Amino acid sequence: MNLLDDEPQRFGEALGATLWGGTLWELAPGESSPYHWHYGEEECAIALTGRLTLRTPEGEREMAPWDIVWFPRGEKGAHQVRNDGDRPARIVMFSTCSDPEVVVYPDEDKVGVIADWSRDDRSTFRGWVEPR
Per-residue DSSP letters for 49-112?
ES-EEEEETTEEEEE-TT-EEEE-SSGGG-BEEEE-SSS-EEEEEEEE--SSEEEEEGGGTEEE
Per the prediction, the chain carries an average pLDDT of 93
Res. 131: pLDDT tops 80: no
Q: Compute the half-sphere exposure of residue 41: CA atoms within 13 Å on the CB side of its CA.
A: 24
Res. 119: pLDDT tops 90: no
pLDDT (0 to 100) of residue 18: 82
Percentage with pLDDT > 70 across the chain:
100
- Residue 10 pLDDT grade (very low, low, confident, very high; cuts 50, 70, 90): confident
pLDDT digits over 31-72, tens only?
A: 999 999 999 999 999 999 999 999 999 999 999 999 999 999
User: For residues 129 and 39, what is the distance between their CA atoms, to the nearest angstrom?
Assistant: 14
Res. 28: pLDDT tops 80: yes
pLDDT (0 to 100) of residue 13: 82
pLDDT (0 to 100) of residue 14: 83
What integer is the mean pLDDT of 100-115?
Answer: 95
User: For residues 58 and 97, what is the distance between their CA atoms, to the nearest angstrom?
Assistant: 25
Residue 69's nearest CA partner among 51, 49, 55, 83 is: 55
Backbone angles phi, psi at 68, to 5 degrees: -130, 140
Give the β-pairing of 43-49 and 89-96: antiparallel
